[in-house]
Structure 1
């Protein structure tokens, strides 16, 4: 749950992966003999960490203030949550499975919205949605979410498997403005980038308040909050590394960690009996909808 811990500024001591990433128990259980790739992480339960991913992205002030102060109401999470969910899942579907034509169309649509997301001259925190370093941070958060969810369901990857998985991930950023040479070249390079980038995390009261609204589902009807609120808080906290717990004031105990790991051991076992095409069907359906919208000239976001 959210606590009253005081916000912290940018970290001055080098962070480690033990602080910035969640713990993954067990060893890799591969369903096939091919090396794992990002598309293998397209699964029902991949969405379990969606709120945590938003919280991680927003914990960097320039992203957090850009989201909280955005004047693009049509895509605001707290105003139009289902539309925001559709646009986010559409982006992921296009970035991972889309053709070059799909990516170009989606990039142009996102750029229209991003032109309106920039800070005022006298703003406390400066931000610009076209800042490639911020887009790289968001893409890195997305990658962490995919890798974590995949490993929770399938077990920890070996270094070779992790490298194979990582090498298919650059499009999470390059589908927008992130240049290919900005994306860390290897999985080990990504760790270096990630831990260094996490030093810029500094969630203040404004960011924490927005995340608290997100975790308490204040953007959806009350009866859905009653049904899903407790589970969402638990999953969100579980998908956050220890440093993010501290920054966002999220309480997480060893008992919580054991419950979280046991949940995914069970879900991972059940998933082994569900055909992959069923587990990835929602993403393919979203990509089909994107292509339908392109054909009919309908807005993508």
Structure 2
């Protein structure tokens, strides 16, 4: 007599309410043209940088790859400012670079990535050239751009969101992600994202690393004392509920109101800051990449 088959329980699919942060207000554009990804080249975008790294690391292959990386020259906890420059340079090249500049940056990143692979017998297998992991990282970067843009300008309509998304594939194709892997439409991206977030399961090793990141233990104590509280608050605010749950981050309704009110104020002030000033950090990074290429200096 055979044993009765055990019932299998498929987890409920995740929803955007679990995988995305809420955006309270309607879109208010300064121009009549459709919004573009380059409209998010704003220095306020860096407010969610630590949260974006934490989201990327929530995927075990990425998290263990970063935590175990033997490439000390680019290690976030050892050289935080250099890592910030490298990431900001990549985003600048992905948005503004020519085909040749993207190819040069891709090869520079490849040199570092060749050293990032799991050891035999490692509990989590990873390889920095895994296109699925690179697609996940690029998707996280897109989320960062869209969230920061909407927090400043309000929630986009589906049509506006489609326009904003339409040129975003370069966030992945500047590395190893072929264009056909990038979700075709904004609706397709939601489907991909909600399914991919189910694979974001944080273990103790990655949680400890992310805890150091969220508490800014990679910067010196005086700066941590001055900016730590604000940056921890911003980082938690940029994390969607699923990620907060995985990382053990507490977030209350009062925190959410404070976060939304902060960006309501910041968004109002932002209207009076000239675009060239708001975009200056990204454009300066692009010029730095071009200078390094001319002088044949290392890009990362």
> How far off is 1:33 after superposition?
1.2
> How far off is 1:277 after superposition?
1.0
Does the CA contact (< 8 Å) of 1:53 and 1:141 recur in 2? yes
Does the CA contact (< 8 Å) of 1:109 and 1:300 recur in 2? yes
C-alpha offsets along residues 83-134 of structure 1, whole Å, 9 cap, x if unaligned? 0000000000000111111100000000000000000011010000000000
2:178 matched residue in structure 1: 179
1:20 matched residue in structure 2: 19
> How far off is 1:28 after superposition?
0.5
Separation in 1, partners of 2:91, 2:36: 14
SS of equivalent to 1:34: coil
C-alpha offsets along residues 209-268 of structure 1, whole Å, 9 cap, x if unaligned? 001111111111100000011011100000010111100100000000000000000000
1:8 matched residue in structure 2: none
Instruction: For 1:198-217, list aligned pairs within 5 A.
Output: 198-217=197-216
> Is residue 119 of structure 2 the alignment partner of residue 90 of structure 1?
no
Separation in 1, partners of 2:283, 2:43: 12
> Is residue 120 of structure 2 the alignment partner of residue 121 of structure 1?
yes
Instruction: For 1:61-210, list aligned pairs within 5 A.
Output: 61-210=60-209
Separation in 1, partners of 2:159, 2:215: 39
Unaligned runs of 5+ in 2: 1-9
> How far off is 1:34 after superposition?
1.1
RMSD of aligned Cα (Å): 0.7
Aligned length: 291
> How far off is 1:205 after superposition?
0.8
Q: TM-score, normalised by structure 1?
A: 0.96
C-alpha offsets along residues 171-227 of structure 1, whole Å, 9 cap, x if unaligned? 000000000000000000000000000010110111110011111111111000000
> How far off is 1:78 after superposition?
0.3
SS of equivalent to 1:82: helix
C-alpha offsets along residues 259-290 of structure 1, whole Å, 9 cap, x if unaligned? 00000000000000011111001100000000
> How far off is 1:12 after superposition?
2.7
Q: TM-score, normalised by structure 2?
A: 0.96
1:6 matched residue in structure 2: none
1:29 matched residue in structure 2: 28
Separation in 2, partners of 1:67, 1:200: 17
> How far off is 1:44 after superposition?
1.3
> How far off is 1:13 after superposition?
2.1
1:43 matched residue in structure 2: 42
Does the CA contact (< 8 Å) of 1:93 and 1:283 recur in 2? yes
Separation in 1, partners of 2:44, 2:271: 13
Unaligned runs of 5+ in 1: 1-10
Instruction: For 1:243-282, list aligned pairs within 5 A.
Output: 243-282=242-281
Separation in 2, partners of 1:21, 1:142: 13
SS of equivalent to 2:86: helix
SS of equivalent to 2:108: helix
2:4 matched residue in structure 1: none
Does the CA contact (< 8 Å) of 1:89 and 1:286 recur in 2? yes
C-alpha offsets along residues 115-155 of structure 1, whole Å, 9 cap, x if unaligned? 00000011010000000000000000000010000000000
Separation in 2, partners of 1:275, 1:80: 32
Structure with higher Rg: it is 2
